[in-house]
Structure 1
C-alpha cells in the first residue's frame, strides 16, 4: 500500500481548488471593483469583468473613467496569471498521472496523425501518454485532458518520464524516419518485447525499423496505404465501397472484434464451419491474418484455423458477446 497516495491526491485537489478559488476571487474582485469605481449595476460590472479577464475585446460596456481603465489593466494581469496557474496545475496533474500508468500506450508526436490516433485510443478507453516537443502541441494535449510529456521523443530520459518500462505499446509517428528509428531502438532497449508501431515515409526505412524492433505489419507508411486505397478503388470500386460501407456502419446492433488463436484455444486445428464461429449464424469471419503477414479476406467455411491466427470478425453484437463469453481470447469493439 502506498501511504503517500492519499497525500498526493489531497495535494492535487488542493492545486485545483486553489486555481478555482483564484479564478473566483478575480471575478468577484472585478465585479465589486467596477461597481465601486464606476457605480455600475452588478450585471454590467460582472459582464465587464468577464470580457476583461478573458481578453475577448468586445469593448467597454460603458465609457470608463481613468481610474476604471487602470483597474481594468490590473484585472487583465490577474486574469492572465490565474489562467497560467490553472493551466500549469492541470499539466502537472496530467504528468503525475503518467507516473502511475501501467500497460499504457505512448504516442510520440502530436501532429495531425498523432492527434487522430490519440483521440481514437481515448474513445476506445485505452490509457494514453503523449510525448510532444512543441509548446503548441503540448497545450493542445492538455486542453484535451491527455497525459503529455514535453520533451524530445528520441531522448531516453523523455521515454523514461513517459513510463516506457511499464508501457505495452509505443507508437512513433514523427515525420522523420530517422527519429522514428531512434525511438524504436531506444524503446526496445529499455523494454525488450514492447510492441512498436512506427511510421515510415521512405520504403528503404522499413527494413531498418523492423531490425530495430518493429514487426513488419506494424510499420505504417501513409503514402503506401493511401496508394493502395486509391488502386483498390480504381480497380475494384464495388468491393472497395462495400468494405468501406461495412467499416463505417454504426448502429446499436452492430459490432466487430478480433480474436488471436492461442496454443490452448479450442479453435486451433478446427475449420471455421466446425468451430464455435461456424455455429454463430450472425457472426462473419471477415479476414484471417496468418503469421503476421498473409491476409486472407472472406475465408471459406472449410478453412482450417491455426495457432497464432488473428481473426477479424463482424456481426450481431449479442452473438459476439455470447462468443466472447465462451472464448477468452476474443476482444469485441462496439460501434
Structure 2
C-alpha cells in the first residue's frame, strides 16, 4: 500500500469518527425527546453528559426505556472514544501527521504553479534537471511512478506527484494547461514516446524535450511531438571529446550554464512587441555599455541564427537574443526584452 493510500485510510477513520459523533448526538437528542418527552435543550444536555460519562445528575428520573437507551448511548460513546483514540495514536506514532502535512503543502504548491515545467521521470537525468531548475528558481513539478522517487523529490522541497506521465489525468493534475514546457525523462524510450504523444495531444503549443537512448527512437519521438530529442550517449560523447580537445573551453561553458555560478551566466531572451529594443539597431541598443551584457548570438523569428550580427542590423520583435552577463544584469535585460521596463 502506498503512503498516500495509507494517509487516505487514516483520514477516513478520522472522518468516520467525527461523523459518528454527530450521528450519536443526533440519535441521543431525538431519543430523549421522543422517549422522555424532554425539551431540545434538556435532551442535548442529557446526550452530552451521557456520551462524555461525566456523571452529572439527570434532568429527571428516567423511565426503564430511557435507561436502556442511555446504556446504549454510553456503549456507543465509549466504543467511539476508543476507536478515535486508536486512530489518533496510530496517526502520531507512525509519523503520518508529518507525511500528511507534507502532502498538503505539496498540493498547495501544485495549485499555485503557473508557466512551469513538467519533469516526467525522476531518475538520474530527471533529478539533475530538477536540481538545475530549482537552483535557478524556475517552477516545476516532478512526476514519477515510484513512491520512493516521489518522496525523495518532496524531501528536497520539490513539487511532486505519483503517477504515469503518459496518463492524461496525471498530466492534467500536473497543470499541463498552464505549463510552459515538458521533459520526458522516463527510464525507457517507449515510455517517453507515449508521454510525448499524450502531452502534445493535451497541449499542442507545449515545448517538449525528450531523452532517448538509441538513435532509432529519435524519429519516433519527433513524430510523436517532441521539438528536441537528447541522445544521452551521443551528448556525453561529444562533451567528453570537447573536454579532451579543449578542456578550458569546456570548463568555461559548463560554468556559464551552472546555476550556482554567481559571477557570470548565459541566457536567451525573446523580444516582445512592447519592448523598447524592438526596431532599434544593435549599434543604437549598445548592449554592453547600456545593459552590461555581452551578445553571443541573435536568432531571427524565422529561425536563422546570426552569431555576430552587424551593428546596423535591426532587432526584430519575436527575435531571440543570447547573451552573457551577471545574474542582475540578465534579470534587468529580461524585463526590458519583455517590455516591462522603460
The TM-score with structure 1 as length reference comes to 0.63
Cα-Cα RMSD: 3.6
Paired residue for 1:45? none
Matches within 5 A, 1:189-208: 189-208=201-220
The answer as to 2:270 corresponding to 1:260 is yes
Please point out which of 276, 295, 298 is paired with 1:288. Answer: 298
The answer as to 2:221 corresponding to 1:221 is no
Look at both structures and tell me which one has the larger radius of gyration over its CA atoms: 2
The TM-score with structure 2 as length reference comes to 0.61
Structure 2: distance between partners of 1:234 and 1:315: 27
Gap runs ≥5 in structure 2: 1-10, 15-88
Structure 2: distance between partners of 1:126 and 1:285: 23
Gap runs ≥5 in structure 1: 1-14, 19-76
Q: 1:227 to 1:138 in 2, by over 3 A?
A: same
Q: 1:253 to 1:236 in 2, by over 3 A?
A: closer
SS of equivalent residue, structure 1 residue 192: coil
Please point out which of 158, 181, 193 is paired with 2:170. Answer: 158
More displaced 10-residue stretch of structure 1: 244-253 or 100-109: 244-253
Structure 1 contact 276–323 (Cα < 8 Å) conserved: no
Q: 1:125 to 1:241 in 2, by over 3 A?
A: closer
Q: 1:314 to 1:160 in 2, by over 3 A?
A: same
The offset of 1:255, in angstroms, is 4.7
Give a deviation string over 1:43-89, Cα, whole Å, max 9, x none: xxxxxxxxxxxxxxxxxxxxxxxxxxxxxxxxxx9698431342134
Q: 1:311 to 1:177 in 2, by over 3 A?
A: same
Q: 1:327 to 1:294 in 2, by over 3 A?
A: closer
Matches within 5 A, 1:16-27: none
Matches within 5 A, 1:37-116: 81-116=93-128
Structure 1 contact 175–201 (Cα < 8 Å) conserved: no
SS of equivalent residue, structure 1 residue 163: coil
Paired residue for 1:234? 244
Q: 1:98 to 1:318 in 2, by over 3 A?
A: closer
